[in-house]
Amino acid sequence: MDPETLEETIGRYNAFCKNGKDSDFNRPPETLVPLDTPPYYAVKMWPGGPNTQGGPRRNKKAQVLDTQGKPIPRLYAAGELGSIFGRLYQGGGNLAECIAFGRIAGENAALETPWKINRDKQEVC
């Protein structure tokens, strides 16, 4: 990257930080931290392997949380879905997260009281 483009990019980003609004990517204001300690470096980057982050949030028991932060009964998640890494992707962490949260989800799901099925009324109690 040529130095002028880098300087312009940092200036634009820092203006977003000062105004509390990211017009390029709509980042939440609380994540906008100005870059004010040079030197700065830039490298050319391109997509590598496929990976996704995001999805429903989960707690330490691997329970999926609703929009109010409360566990949704009997719904568990593991792996990239609702990753604990969130916006801070750590390469190679997904397999470990699948194993760890898969076990946590399985243990907690196994503690659930089984549903009773009323076949006459075709309902779950």
Q: What is the pTM of this model?
A: 0.45
Residues 6+ apart with CB under 8 A from 116: 124, 125
User: What does the pLDDT read at residue 91?
Assistant: 60
- Give residue 49's pLDDT band: very low, low, confident or very high (50, 70, 90): low
9 pLDDT more than 90: yes
Q: How far apart are CA 63 and CA 68, in angstroms?
A: 13
Task: Give the distance from CA 50 to its chain's centroid.
Answer: 15
Chain-wide mean pLDDT for the chain? 84
Q: Which helix H or strand E contains 117, and what residues bound it? A: strand 117-118
**Worst-scoring range by mean pLDDT, 30-34, 75-79, 83-87?**
83-87
DSSP string, 76-110: E--TTTT-TTTTS--TTHHHHHHHHHHHHHHHHHH
Mean pLDDT of 5-31: 94
The residues with which 64 forms a beta bridge, in sequence order, are 58
